[in-house]
Structure 1
Amino acid sequence: METVLRDVMDQWRAGVGTHRPQQVAALFTEDAIFQGLRPYSVGRPGIAAYYDSQPPGLSAGYRILETRALAAGLVLGYLAVDFSFTDRPTLHAWLSVLVRRTAEGWRIAHYQVSRLE
């Protein structure tokens, strides 16, 4: 389970760090529910637009806190994420993802990030 989650999230981190919104969006299912730090979207176009709007130099580091196999081909992950910027303090957040096995491979079907102070 953790290996599957780490593989997907390593690709996500690489796409975020190199500002490749289409590459990041391709890691999600076609109908993924995506909740970043502003209003949610459904599907890859909204996800690509979200990551395209991120500032240059943004990078993400993560630590897996929990994983659960919810069913065959479905993994829940709970992560601590640090979003680092070139011009402001690091943003600490919590991320829940559902990763589903698809014909394309493992893809994120649900993404929910939140800040807890």
Structure 2
Amino acid sequence: MSTTTDNDTILRGVLDRWKSAVDAHDPQRVASGFTEDAIFQGLHPYSVGRHGVADYYDSQPLGMTAEYRILETRQLADDLVLGYLDVDFTFADRPTVAVKLAVLVRRAADGWLIAHYQVSRLD
């Protein structure tokens, strides 16, 4: 089993790619960081698969960016890491939206991908 540092490194690799694609408003690139059968729950109804992820991020306003901070990690299996994070989504024309994000990332043949994504607003 990996250490917390290893888990953080795995998550940062996945989430840095996610953040870069979100910040660039590139929905297809965001979706490519998810498994084909990913369960995705943003602040709208959930979807399954990359198409739903791409549709969700395509509906987000231009100029939206994401900043994340890893709060906790757990390695659940050799190929599965859980992450719990704070994420701030900032916009050009409205207040920042602060959320909690839980992700499960899974090792695939082409690297680590998000298999489950669950956002919660606590306000």
State the TM-score bracket (shorter-chain normalisation).
Answer: over 0.9
User: 1:104 deviation in Å?
Assistant: 1.6
User: Which segments of 5 or more consecutive residues in structure 2 lack a partner in the other structure?
Assistant: 1-6
SS in 2 for 1:69: strand
Instruction: Tell me the equivalent position of 1:22.
Output: 28
Instruction: Tell me the equivalent position of 1:102.
Output: 108
Q: Which runs of 4+ in 1 moved over 4 A?
A: none
Counterpart of 2:120, as a letter, is S
SS in 2 for 1:29: strand
SS in 2 for 1:54: coil
CA distance in 1, matches of 2:34, 2:16: 13
> Given the alignment of the two structures, is residue 7 of structure 1 paired with residue 22 of structure 2, yes or no?
no
Instruction: Tell me the equivalent position of 2:87.
Output: 81
Instruction: Tell me the equivalent position of 1:90.
Output: 96
User: 1:80 deviation in Å?
Assistant: 0.1
Instruction: Summarize the alignment of residues 15-94 of structure 1 with structure 2, pairs less than 5 Å apart.
Output: 15-94=21-100
- For normalisation by structure 2, the TM-score amounts to 0.94
User: 1:60 deviation in Å?
Assistant: 0.2
Aligned-pair RMSD on alpha carbons? 0.4
User: Which segments of 5 or more consecutive residues in structure 1 lack a partner in the other structure?
Assistant: none
SS in 2 for 1:15: helix
CA distance in 1, matches of 2:25, 2:69: 21
- For normalisation by structure 1, the TM-score amounts to 0.99
CA distance in 1, matches of 2:13, 2:77: 19
Counterpart of 1:23, as a letter, is R
Equivalent pairs counted in the alignment come to: 117
